[in-house]
Structure 1
């Protein structure tokens, strides 16, 4: 599996855009709960089937819990039954995808483009009937849902 790049369809360059939301480690620790910090800033993963948005069907926008940037819309959320919220596409330029070789395997990590917080991973070719054949597997604790009015 390669890196995905939504804007142009080609592989991303070696350099990433700089974070627009920059805080010190101490500031992140003050702002986030210990569980949020572990996932968002240390690339942890919450346990499957326990996140508040795993099965949510509420219409709205999912924002980064760390910085508030818009990440996904409910229209792109789908039931994957994998234990975490799944989306088939992020908002334009909302996320950065990078190779993750931790745990002895090759995956593609998804981070917030604005603050570089860890959100989850993206997988392709799993056979879900979505327009992109991608599954953005995102930790609930990485997001907040802003319901539509």
Structure 2
């Protein structure tokens, strides 16, 4: 899903001027990738991976609140998604097995993928850490 992001607007993190639900979700997934990459640099003794588990049937999309054709469409699409247990599979594997990938790597389900486009932007990785530090304060990590 991070591939749908055109890049995080660090000057409007709250999306006060240009909000879109899909964009917000895609940007948070991109932030997960950036955070993972930054963590790998800052804490090299900790192995960190970003993982996209695929479409997982959860209540996140708000499909339960939809009525009529939109609700039926959501119901149909959700049947094609993985169960939460199946969606957890890639995360459990990465947390429990020696994978052999470099810390900071990205996985699409069980396959390591090369980051491209905005996800490969080293400057944005650093900027996310900088802005995050400003927002949460000095945690002395």
TM-score bracket for this pair, using the shorter chain length: under 0.3
Structure with the greater alpha carbon radius of gyration: 2
More helix by share: 2
More strand by share: 1
TM-score w.r.t. the length of structure 2 is 0.23
Question: Higher relative contact order at CA 8 Å, sep ≥6: structure 1 or structure 2?
Answer: 2
TM-score w.r.t. the length of structure 1 is 0.22
